[in-house]
Amino acid sequence: MADPAMPFAQLRVVAREVSFMKGAELIRQGEASRGCFLIRAGSVEALVALPGGGTLAVAQFRDGDMFGEMALVERGVTSATVVARSNVDAWFVGRDDFRALVASRERSALEIQRAITRTLADKLRALNARVREHASAEERPAGAAPPSGDPLAGVSRSLHASFDWRAFLPVLPFFEGFDADETDELASTGKVLELARGAWTFVAGATASACYLVLRGALEIFVRDGAMERRIAIAGPGELVGFMAVVNGAPRANNARAKEACCLLELPRAAFLEIYNGDSGTTVSLQHAIHRSLMRSLARTNTQLARLIAHHKLEEAGRDVEHLEVAIRAQMWQPL
């Protein structure tokens, strides 16, 4: 069993103790999300009210479990009602208090924020795996085999491109919240490269040596399964691609290639991690940008899950509908 004190050991200054009697509602489906809970003692159950009537249990939490952590980094609404199945003692951390602590560059808060990033990434990976279990209109016959080595090995890098890319940075959504010095600090760690339509950027299973910010054009993110491939996303200007493999030190989970001629800012792993794992103002802004990116990816995957649910309902595939409902609702959070 997890030690209930560990996640909040250094956040007591903003955490408050709360208690609930058996049967009490900790949060209610559809209300504005306020923060996260860590169960110290007791158990709770997350229930979803279904459109046709009745409820569906989507998750249970016990001593040491945390839920609602997505609310610490983004405003939204709760996707389930959480009910105490016994008397419950917990800690609660509000979003505004947590974000104020992060803004002060308190190292413990930054570490928790990085832990939340890993949690979001794990949820996204699990949801994408669930989506891939079902047929989709996004599937198509696979094209040419992926390159056997680094597809960018022979591509030149430069501080210059065919346009003034640095002047373009402040208008990119990725840099929302960055000041000029923070933007320059991050951008100065990398170089730009330009790819023709169809050029590969990275291959699933490869070691992640860098991540890529799309400056112009678009990258297609996709997976391959035998003779078929499926699009995961199209990443346009201002989207950071391939960063989770860099952060986690894991092999690439997906493939990427140029959907159209594009210009990318390549951020080498070591320089990127030095900022990401630091405690500077650029660190805070970078973490916020990564959370926004993960939230957009989760929203895209949830849209795909919702389409699958609607499709299975039309086919009266009851068991598949329930499994998909659990997958999408157990996140405990939906965007506004």
H helices of the chain, in order, are 95-103, 107-132, 165-168, 180-187, 243-248, 269-276, 281-314, 318-329
Residue 147 gets which letter from DSSP?
A: P
Q: Decide whether 1-104 matches 122-314 in CATH topology.
A: yes
pTM: 0.76
Give me the mean pLDDT over the 112-140 stretch: 73
Distance CA(109)–CA(100), nearest Å, equals 9
Buried b (16+ CB within 10 A) or exposed e, 194-230: bbeeebbbbbeebebebbbbbbbbbbbbbbbeeeebb
- Domain residue ranges in the chain: 1-104, 122-314
Which residues on neighbouring strands pair with residue 37, listed in sequence order? 67, 92
CATH class of 1-104: mainly beta
Q: Under a CB-based contact definition with an 8 Å cutoff, are residues 79 and 256 in contact?
A: no
Q: What is the DSSP letter of 33?
A: P
Q: How far apart are the C-alpha atoms of 16 and 264, rounded to whole Å?
A: 45
3-state SS, residue 106: coil
Task: Tell me how far apart the alpha carbons of residues 234 and 254 are, in angstroms, rounded to a whole number.
Answer: 12
- Residue 293 burial class via C-beta count within 10 angstroms: exposed 0-12, middle 13-18, buried 19 and up: buried
CB atoms within 10 A of CB 313: 16
The better pLDDT of the pair 202, 14 is held by 202
Is the domain 122-314 a CATH 3.30.460.80 member? no
pLDDT tens, position by position, 267-318: 999 999 999 999 899 999 999 899 888 878 777 776 666 666 555 555 555 4
Q: Measured at the alpha carbon of residue 62, what is the angle toward residues 36 and 48, in degrees to the nearest 5?
A: 65
pLDDT at 111 over 60: yes
Average pLDDT value over all residues in the chain = 83
The 10s digit of each residue's pLDDT in 167-209 is 999 999 999 999 999 999 999 999 999 999 999 999 999 999 9
